[in-house]
Structure 1
Amino acid sequence: MTSTETRTDTDAILATLDEMHAAIGAGDAARALDTCAEGTVVFSLAPPLVDGTGSREGDVAALAGWIASFDAPPRLAHRDPTVHVDGDVAFVHTLSSMTGTKGGEFTLWFRSTYGLRRIDGRWLIVHQHESVPFHMDGSFLAATGLEP
């Protein structure tokens, strides 16, 4: 693979993440899930431990319900993503932020890792993992006040 191919792949992969974030910010759950392959595994910040109902319609309804739980759709962004590409498989790790209003305006920083596959020439998310560090002082409270 040439460095030009890698750069083109990296741009396409980051465009996939940007599209997911833009769709969520527009309140469009179906469009957001169009960035994902069938059977995508999602470990998101919200319970349960693994997201996904097993059906596209159920997944769209669940994501739409989450988006609707905010006063307006939340805005997501990533910072300084690192992309690793090898053939038709890639992963990205990044710090992400979510800004929204739910009982007051907030911005939450968290860690994200995405696994993607090139399927029919298009980069699609096949795995998404989000996490927030926890205080290890015995309280085990999420460290939601961290910023990069």
Structure 2
Amino acid sequence: MTTDTERKTTGRLADEVRIREVLQDRAAATAERDAGRFLAHCAPEFVDFSLAPPLQFKGPQALDRQALEAWYATWEGRIEVTLTQVEITAGDEVAFAHSINLMSGTKADGFEVRLWSRATVGLRRIDGVWKITHEHSSVPFLMDGSGLAALDLTP
């Protein structure tokens, strides 16, 4: 006979798998430049603390397909996003994940990008589906007074 604790643990593991699939599918959508697929994982009230200005994007501003497609257009070929050190904590209705991510590819001007960043994602279960409600991405900066991003760090 299965106990309530065993059922709950099995459910949490299944939720973690589903959330990992959401995160992986968003990375794949970026590689394939599929803005609709990327944004489909976001809740309508999505808030994004992105690497790019402004300080935050909220709701429709954060779900702007044309803006995302315009960003994709600044790249030549695939934009690879590799998620590493992914940690997921899931409750019944709310979850969060954090990871260290590598983005690499070639910008339209030929500049080769290899950028490590940190990401934290908040999710809610909406109608039985895990949707991203908040994302925060960051790059460490040098604490020497220069304010420069520390782009040479690796995990």
TM-score (norm 1): 0.93
Alignment RMSD (CA, Å):
1.6
Alignment of 1:50-65 (within 5 A): 50-52=56-58, 54=60, 59-65=64-70
Structure 1 match to 2:91: 86
- Does residue 75 (structure 1) correspond to residue 68 (structure 2)? The answer is no
- In the alignment, the residues of structure 1 paired with residue 47 and residue 105 of structure 2 have an alpha-carbon distance, to the nearest angstrom, of 24
Paired amino acid for 1:123 = W
Identity %: 43
Structure 2 match to 1:35: 41
Paired amino acid for 1:61 = Q
Cα offset, 1:55, TM superposition:
5.7
- Tell me which stretches of 4 or more aligned residues in structure 1 moved more than 3 Å: none
Structure 2 match to 1:109: 116
- In the alignment, the residues of structure 1 paired with residue 51 and residue 145 of structure 2 have an alpha-carbon distance, to the nearest angstrom, of 21
2:105 to 97, 100, 103: 100
Cα offset, 1:72, TM superposition:
2.0
Structure 1 match to 2:3: none
TM-score (norm 2): 0.89
SS in 2 for 1:8: helix
Q: How many residues align?
A: 147
Cα offset, 1:62, TM superposition:
0.8
Long gaps (5+) in structure 1: none
- In the alignment, the residues of structure 1 paired with residue 98 and residue 81 of structure 2 have an alpha-carbon distance, to the nearest angstrom, of 15
